[in-house]
Amino acid sequence: MTLSTAGNLDVAADLLALLGDTATEPRPDTQLEALTLAVSADLPVLLWGEPGIGKTSALNQLAGALGLPLTTVIASVHEPSDFAGLPVVGDDPAVQGVPMAPPDWAVRLARTGTGLLFLDELSTAPPAVQAALLRVVLERRVGALRLPPGIRIVAAANPRASAADGWELSAPLANRFVHLQWGFDHDVVVRGLGGTWPRAALPRLDAGRLPDAVALARRAVCGLLSTRPALVHQLPTSETRRGGPWPSPRSWEMTLRLLAFGTAAGASRDALSMLVRGTVGDGPGLELLAALDRLDLPDPENLLADPASAVLPERGDLRQAVLDGVVEAVRRRPERSRWEAAWTVLARALDTGAPDLVVVPASTLAQLRRDGWEVPVTMERLGSAVTLSQRAAA
């Protein structure tokens, strides 16, 4: 190599260094928030996205931001024995058995104690390799070696249509992951190419909220599954859907953990939605989110006890649920004072929200009137919404 050639390579290296010299900034990013929350909860994450979308770059940036070493394993170029372990015959196999020796990358991870294990190109791994990965993902075992608790697992896959010799994920392997659909934000890409990318950071958990976060998560999940037992386990019928998120006792346990972590961290609604739907699927996930919303609704008995101070939700569907709950509480224990208090609650709803939300509960409440109960003044105020006075007097 001549001196001039070496000099040119040094200049090229300087230029590459300048191109790689990027900064980060705090910036709202739902994908990163969901990813870091799942990593914090120590759940395996699978990023789905088209080739070149930035999945690998996101993992490199995440590892750098968290100060964790990143070990990348291309699943499709490994044999099953690379994950299940290679048999090593010792001096007396009849007594000592034949241990399954782990590969070098697993030994390095165990020696380090912390880090990110990145399983790339998962959808191009043949079924035999996917089967060998089951213990790695769930039990953190590689051969006879158990990975330490400080190791987090993240995988990436391309949809079968855009993967080279792609395979659908097996149902047992898919059910062990939190599936996140990874896309790109135009503004993030443009600003990142300009030298500034969003900063990844583990969520800050509020130590004072931990017991309440666990209680809320358990109440939401158990409450939904108590009323919808069919959602406990639903193995999809199509091969494609089996390779994605679907509900099972395992995935519900993962969902419960994510809800607890998300609540303790004050996670955004969008990030929590991505995680829940990416664990048990869109349908069950949306039902759980709706149930979670209802848990935050005010108690109808509290509203009836102090109707003048009633604070109602802003969202129309939640406000409707509260008003229906108030009327149902009166139906269960019909007393004149409770009936009149319910009208005060409906009047507050009329003053602070859309009138059409009051029509059905007001009509139902009017039918609960008993003989001798005078029509309250607040009921007269609702006459413009529905003709209630004549119906109650009839």
> Tell me, what CATH number does 127's domain have?
3.40.50.300
Cβ neighbors of 227 (< 8 A, separation 6 or more) are: none
Tell me how crowded residue 206 is: count the other CB atoms within 10 A of its CB: 13
Confidence of residue 393 (pLDDT cuts 50, 70, 90): very low
Whether residues 369 and 356 share a domain: the answer is: yes
Confidence of residue 179 (pLDDT cuts 50, 70, 90): very high
Tokens 């300048």 label which residue? 18
Alpha-carbon distance 246 to 281, whole Å? 5
Q: Residue 223 falls within a domain, yes or no?
A: yes
Alpha-carbon distance 240 to 170, whole Å? 9
Q: Residue 13 falls within a domain, yes or no?
A: no
Whether residues 253 and 373 share a domain: the answer is: no
Residue 100 token pair? 């399954």
Whether residues 288 and 326 share a domain: the answer is: no
Residue 96 token pair? 């000592």
Q: What is the pLDDT of residues 314-340, one digit of tens each?
A: 888 888 888 988 999 999 999 999 999
pLDDT at 313: 86
How many domains is the chain partitioned into structurally? 3
- Domain C-terminal end among 295, 326, 348: 295
Alpha-carbon distance 218 to 253, whole Å? 10
DSSP 368: T
Q: Residue 5 falls within a domain, yes or no?
A: no
For residue 96, the SS3 value is: helix
**How are the residues of the chain apportioned to helix, strand and coil, as percentages rounded to the nearest 5?**
60, 10, 30
Whether residues 84 and 41 share a domain: the answer is: yes
Q: Residue 321 falls within a domain, yes or no?
A: yes
Whether residues 217 and 178 share a domain: the answer is: no
Whether residues 123 and 262 share a domain: the answer is: no
Whether residues 184 and 45 share a domain: the answer is: yes
Residue 107: exposure state from Cβ atoms within 10 A (0-12, 13-18, ≥19): middle
Confidence of residue 247 (pLDDT cuts 50, 70, 90): very high
Whether residues 219 and 164 share a domain: the answer is: no
Confidence of residue 96 (pLDDT cuts 50, 70, 90): low
Half-sphere exposure of 297 (CA within 13 A, CB side): 22
Confidence of residue 279 (pLDDT cuts 50, 70, 90): very high
Mean pLDDT of 350-356: 81
Confidence of residue 93 (pLDDT cuts 50, 70, 90): low
The strand pairing partners of 118, in sequence order, are 72, 154
What does pTM read for this prediction? 0.77
Pairing of strands 100-101, 86-87: antiparallel
Q: Residue 12 falls within a domain, yes or no?
A: no
Confidence of residue 161 (pLDDT cuts 50, 70, 90): low
pLDDT at 360: 86
Q: Residue 17 falls within a domain, yes or no?
A: no
Q: What is the pLDDT of residues 41-78, one digit of tens each?
A: 999 999 998 888 878 888 888 888 788 899 999 888 88
Q: Residue 204 falls within a domain, yes or no?
A: no
Whether residues 288 and 385 share a domain: the answer is: no
- Domain C-terminal end among 295, 318, 342: 295
Q: Residue 38 falls within a domain, yes or no?
A: yes
Whether residues 127 and 56 share a domain: the answer is: yes
Whether residues 121 and 39 share a domain: the answer is: yes
- Domain C-terminal end among 177, 198, 219: 198
Whether residues 190 and 43 share a domain: the answer is: yes
**Domain containing 114: what range?**
22-89+98-198
